[in-house]
Each structure stands twice: as C-alpha cells, then as structure tokens.
Amino acid sequence: MKKHSVWVLEYSRSPVHPVSGVFYGAHNQGTMNLPFSYVLIKIGDAVVLVDAGHDAGDFGGRIADSIGVTGWTHPSVVLAECGVSPEDVTHVILTHAHFDHAGGLKYFPNAQIYMQRKELESWMWILSKGPRFRSLQAGLNPADVLYLTQANTEGRLTLVDGVYSDVVPGVHLRPAFDTHTAGSQYVVVETAPGSRLVLSGDVIYTYRNLVGDDLDHRQFIPPGLANGSQTRLIETAEEMMSIVDDDYRHVIPMHEEKLHEYYPSKLTAGGLRIVEIALAAEDESRV
C-alpha cells in the first residue's frame, strides 16, 4: 500500500528549447518541446514541493523569455488541481538553484527550504568572480541567491551536507555534486516497502538521457548544460538506476514530455499536464 502521493505538475513550457541543452553533443539538431514542472508530494500532514518553478515577473522571467518559455501559470492555479494552496506547502526541496527551480520560492512563505550547502556556496563563489566567469552563471537569477541567504537568516533554510534522510518520512536527499551544477541533489521517495522513486532534478532531463535511443543497447546520454563533469553526470545516472533496480521508469525526470505515456495524466483547462506518479490509499486521484 502506497504511503505517498506524487504528482508532476507542469507550470509552463518551452516549445523551442535547444536540443543541445538537453543532450550532450547534439549540435545543430534544432529545438524540442520541453515542459517546465515541479513535483508535489503528500504524506500525512506534510505537503512537499520538489523545486519551486520561477517568477515570470522578475529577471527569471527574462531568462525564461530568452529560451522561449511560454504559458507561465501561478502556483495557486497549478496546485489547486491537487487541492493544495501555496500556503499549505510545508517543505520545499531544491534540486539546484537555477531560475526555473528556485525562482518561485517567494510563493511558498510557510515552507522550510532544503538545499545542499555546496550549491549555495558555489553560486556565491561564481557571482564573486566577475564578468569573465559569466558563462558559469547561465540559468541563474542572482536575486534567488539573495532570497536564499535571507531565508537562511530567518531560519527557513536548511543547508544539507551530502546525504539527508527523512526530510519527511520516506523522502530522502542524495547529493549529485559536480554534475548539472556544483551542488545538485536528487530525491528518493519510498512510496511503499520495497518500492522507490527517484526525482532526478536536472541531472536527468528526459528518459533518453537514461537509455539512449535503443532499449536493447542502452547508454547514458548526459544533459548538455552542466557546470560540472559529463563523467559525473553519467556516474550519477548509474547511481539512480541502481536505486530503482534498473527500472528507468521509476526515475522521474521533471522535463520529460512523455511522462504521460508511462503514468496516468490529464490536461488542465489551461493546457498544462498533471501526471500522477503515485497515489496514497487515502488520497483521491487528480487525473
């Protein structure tokens, strides 16, 4: 019997996202349709959000516009599809601090935030290095770093050093250092005894990153956007697969357009997709 309900909630998308940003070495291969999502987890009285989306009204919105992101929808509308308001969110887990993962934190004022200490410190270091290092700032809204430091002074930020078990029961953090970003992490959810999901953050964008183009001859194809090492991305993908007993369908990439082919889903009135990954016994289906 499952203990957790897990939904992937799309809040915007980029229909013209460069393929080379998602697949390393995919030069001159045009664009693809890339959903932008966060993950909602409910267990008991805990309401957990994995990543927080971005704010279309600040510099994060300008970054989004530059990569063709459209249809941004306020978290109050997105979460309402699952009977939740932003004020209900008790925990926000940041897989990393890019604009589309950390930029919406202000919408969740009652949440305790969890991120790797190395992630925050690495961005502060990059921002201190000056304009010649600005290529390392790709995807970062500096205002989000300021927000996080303010949250830390207010006691609303928990800085994690490596493995962290039971943020809430059955929800664990695992480091993915020097991969997509210096201090990335991913989330392991034990939905039932012997059953685990991995929420990959941007270490994995799509299932193609995990299996390649041929299920009979699988290979890892790491994402193209990385501040860290392509080797570390591949090693971390292997680590994720070992956690889910080599069943790639139990790794949940938040930018995967085809999740609805693996799990129940629906399109909302606004044209955004809800994918229901797991459903606890006491919860009603939202799809």
Instruction: For 143-154, write each residue's pLDDT tens digit.
Output: 999 999 999 999
Residue 214 within a domain: yes
User: How far apart (Å, rounded) are the C-alpha atoms in residues 89 and 13?
Assistant: 23
Average pLDDT over all residues of the chain: 95
Residue 284 within a domain: no
Asked whether the predicted pLDDT for residue 183 surpasses 80, the reply is yes
pTM above 0.85, yes or no: yes
pLDDT of residue 108: 98
pLDDT of residue 90: 98
pLDDT single digits (tens) 187-225: 999 988 889 999 999 999 999 999 999 989 999 999 999
Residue 234 within a domain: yes
Token representation of residue 218: 């699988």
- Domain total of the chain: 1
**Angle at CA of residue 86, ends 84 and 91, nearest 5°:** 95
| Mean pLDDT of the 253-278 span | 96
Asked whether the predicted pLDDT for residue 86 surpasses 80, the reply is yes
Residue 47 within a domain: yes
CATH number of the domain enclosing 162: 3.60.15.10
Share of the chain above pLDDT 70, in %: 100
| Mean pLDDT of the 104-129 span | 97
pLDDT of residue 10: 98
| Mean pLDDT of the 115-121 span | 98
Residue 213 within a domain: yes
Pairing mode of beta strands 251-252, 5-18: unpaired
pLDDT of residue 2: 77
Q: How far is CA 92 from CA 109, 187, 261, in A?
A: 10, 12, 27
Per the listing, tokens 């201090």 go with 183
pLDDT of residue 19: 92
Output Rg (C-alpha) for the chain, integer angstroms: 17
Residue 287 within a domain: no
Residue 195 within a domain: yes
Query: From the centroid of its chain, how far is CA 155?
Result: 23
Domain with 273, as residue range(s), is 5-278
The answer to whether 212 touches 218, Cβ cutoff 8 Å, is yes
Q: What's the pLDDT band for 1 if we cut at 50, 70, 90?
A: low
Per the listing, tokens 């570390």 go with 232
Residue 283 within a domain: no
Number of residues written out for the chain? 287
| Mean pLDDT of the 120-145 span | 94
- 37's CB contacts (< 8 A; 6+ apart) are 8, 9, 10, 11, 254, 255
